Amino acid sequence: MEYSTGDTVKFKLESGEIQEGDVQFIERRRSKDILYISSFNRWDRVPEDRIIARVGKNESVQMKNRTSQGERSAT
């Protein structure tokens, strides 16, 4: 699957944890592409084969606007 800068993707870390982030830079290589993704408060260098899915724009906005139990609105 082709990815571009600005796409929001779900990816798997080496630990097996699944995270979501925005593609900031793509390093094109012969064997496979490396995506540099900003997620939470860090950057991750992720090979293309560890990308699980591209997240749609609507899903991404919903994820960012979620509230925890007890909160009345997202800030």
Model confidence at 75, pLDDT cuts 50, 70, 90, reads very low
Cα(73)–Cα(55) distance, integer angstroms: 23
Q: What are 9-26's pLDDT values in tens digits?
A: 999 988 999 999 999 999
Report which secondary-structure segment, H or E, holds 62: helix 57-64
pLDDT score of 31: 87
pTM: 0.68
DSSP annotation string for 9-53: EEEE-TTS-EEEEEEEEEE--SS--EEEEEETTEEEEEEGGGEEE
Q: What are 22-73's pLDDT values in tens digits?
A: 999 999 988 889 999 998 778 999 999 999 999 987 655 555 555 555 555 4
pLDDT score of 41: 77
**Structural domains of the chain, with CATH:** 8-57 (2.30.30)
